[in-house]
């Protein structure tokens, strides 16, 4: 009977140690939950929790601006083409002006440069 009593007392002792461990774990978990709740009430924690929303807004803004970059590049290219065309037109206008002067010299040389006739 002595072996039976020793085995039973070891089982009871192991159960007591196990239950004590569970109680200690519960107390620590409760304290940890209380600490987490206190931390989550702080403004810094709330601001950090709101950061992903801001990151998403910034990402959407960047994605919205990406096509604008391509449009600005296209506008800059078109402005360069228009500037080159305008320079060509100015050369053509100068050529027309000199041809007109030459024609006036050929047709009516005496009237050129006279303000009143």
pLDDT tens readout for residues 8-56? 899 999 999 999 999 999 999 999 999 988 888 888 888 888 788 788 8
Task: Please indicate whether residue 114 or residue 14 has the higher confidence score (pLDDT).
Answer: 14
Cβ(81)–Cβ(73) below 8 Å: no
**Interior CA angle at 46 toward 41 and 49, to 5°?**
135
CA 13 – CA 20 distance, rounded (Å) = 10
HSE (side-chain half, CA atoms, 13 Å) at 116: 0
At 35, list the tokens.
């600490």
Instruction: Evaluate if residue 111 carries a pLDDT over 70.
Output: no
What is the model's pTM?
A: 0.39
CA 54 – CA 56 distance, rounded (Å) = 5
């Amino acid at each position: 009977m002595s072996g039976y009593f020793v085995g039973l007392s070891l089982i009871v002792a192991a159960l007591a140690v196990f239950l004590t461990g569970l109680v200690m774990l519960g107390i620590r978990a409760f304290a940890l939950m209380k600490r987490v709740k206190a931390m989550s009430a702080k403004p810094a924690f709330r601001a950090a929790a709101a950061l992903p929303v801001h990151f998403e807004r910034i990402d959407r803004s960047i994605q919205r601006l990406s096509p604008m970059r391509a449009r600005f590049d296209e506008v800059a290219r078109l402005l360069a083409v228009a500037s080159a065309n305008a320079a060509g037109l100015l050369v053509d206008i100068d050529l027309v002006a000199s041809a007109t002067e030459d024609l006036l010299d050929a047709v009516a040389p005496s009237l050129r440069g006279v303000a009143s006739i």
